Structure 1
Amino acid sequence: MNDFWFYTELGFSHVLDPNGYDHVLFLTALALPFSFGQWKKVFWLATLFTLTHCLSLALAAYGIVRVDSELVELLIPITILITALLNLYTADKVQASQKAFRIDLVVTGFFGLIHGLGFSNYFRMLMAEEEEKTAPLLGFAAGIEGAQLSVLLAVLTLSYVLLQWTPLSRKYYVWGFSLIIALIALGLIFL
């Protein structure tokens, strides 16, 4: 059980690590188009992201998948950039349709696999000493999910406050923050 809590804390800190702010950038871009009233959709997107993130970690932990870390480190900011650009494209459209949400689910799930691979080499080294890998993987998933839900709650709350208490329209709010995230992602790609 100690392994479970150790890995839960590791998963939580993995998301909130100031040096690994790419995770928070992705989550912020993911949540920007949604209102507080759409929290269930954001919850399902975050949960799918966690599941696919941990799937790629599990595949790495069991030695099924090995990846070039340089390639993955390039792909992660590309996923952030794509998410931000999708926000720019859809900011003036209503995010209520089931078709749009299914597309969000597919894209988020795929991006979760990529983000999980970014941590896989380090995680595989940690897991090399573990005989039983299920509890650590579940603990890590619980930590990731808890941290992600905290970030998403903060983003949705900030969105609500800014949109209720300022003259900012949702369209320009989503455009502005998505543009900032896109520029940061471009910096991560090219610097």
Structure 2
Amino acid sequence: MSTEFGMYFQMGWQHIIAWDGYDHILFIMALSAIYMLRDWRKVLVLVTAFTIGHAVTLALSLTNVVYVQSSLIELLIPITIWITALFNMFKKELSPQKVQLNYLFALFFGLVHGMAFSAYLKSLIGTRENILQPLLAFNLGLEAGQMVVVAGVLLLAGIIVNVTGVKRRDWNIYLSAAIFGIAVLITIERCKEFITK
């Protein structure tokens, strides 16, 4: 692994794991809320769909094909979180085979989240012509960080459902409702910021 690749990988990793990325962590938690540890393969595909989504908009933004006002993106991010959490709470059946809509959420909302990463990554890359290696390394770092969040959510779900006896449906509702509440508060705060700009 080259020094440059490692540096961008670490930046991607830290961007998710650091507290600065709490809104992205909340989204990954919302995506994972309906799953259990035995569903890890499905969650891997889900999070990879999210990574593909934000990789696309990262690339388009870095090459100046797409530009969206950063304050609008910052407002849209918590909206993607509470929509996902709300979907979880009102989903009647928790069979992971019947939640393909979650994959569409992950891919589409990944496009939004990628725009948020783009300003940060663009400031690091500057005007260099070859963006493939930094873009790949950064996205792999993001994916690794997301996997840590997913592992934490799935392990916590396993402990709460299998050890304490809380029903899987109740766990999903508790976690999703908490995420929904936090995301709504963030949305209100960012809406105020967006209006004043």
When normalised by structure 1's length, the TM-score is 0.94
Partner of 2:71: 70
Q: Does 1:5 align with 2:6?
A: yes
Superposition CA RMSD, Å: 1.2
Partner of 2:84: 83
Give % identity.
36
- Deviation readout 1:98-143 (Å, 9 max, x if unpaired): 5x22x22111100000001012122222222433211000100110
Aligned length: 188
Partner of 2:154: 156
Query: How far apart, CA to CA, are the structure 2 residues paired with 1:41 and 1:67?
Result: 31
Partner of 2:45: 44
Query: How far apart, CA to CA, are the structure 2 residues paired with 1:46 and 1:97?
Result: 16
Query: How far apart, CA to CA, are the structure 1 residues paired with 2:61 and 2:158?
Result: 39
Query: How far apart, CA to CA, are the structure 2 residues paired with 1:62 and 1:79?
Result: 25
1:55 deviates by 1.1
Amino acid at match of 2:76: L
Matches within 5 A, 1:18-29: 18-29=19-30
Partner of 1:17: 18
Query: How far apart, CA to CA, are the structure 2 residues paired with 1:44 and 1:58?
Result: 21
Per mean C-alpha deviation after superposition, the further-off stretch among 117-126 and 35-44 is 117-126
Q: Does 1:180 align with 2:181?
A: no
Query: How far apart, CA to CA, are the structure 2 residues paired with 1:144 and 1:97?
Result: 26
Amino acid at match of 1:31: S
Partner of 1:146: 144
Unaligned runs of at least 5 residues, structure 1: none
Partner of 1:113: 111
Amino acid at match of 1:148: Q
Query: How far apart, CA to CA, are the structure 2 residues paired with 1:127 and 1:59?
Result: 14
Unaligned runs of at least 5 residues, structure 2: 190-197
Query: How far apart, CA to CA, are the structure 2 residues paired with 1:3 and 1:42?
Result: 30
When normalised by structure 2's length, the TM-score is 0.91
- Deviation readout 1:76-105 (Å, 9 max, x if unpaired): 000000010011011x4132335x22x221
Partner of 2:193: none
Query: How far apart, CA to CA, are the structure 1 residues paired with 2:164 and 2:77?
Result: 33
Partner of 1:168: 166
**Secondary structure of 1:8's match?**
helix
Query: How far apart, CA to CA, are the structure 1 residues paired with 2:148 and 2:119?
Result: 26
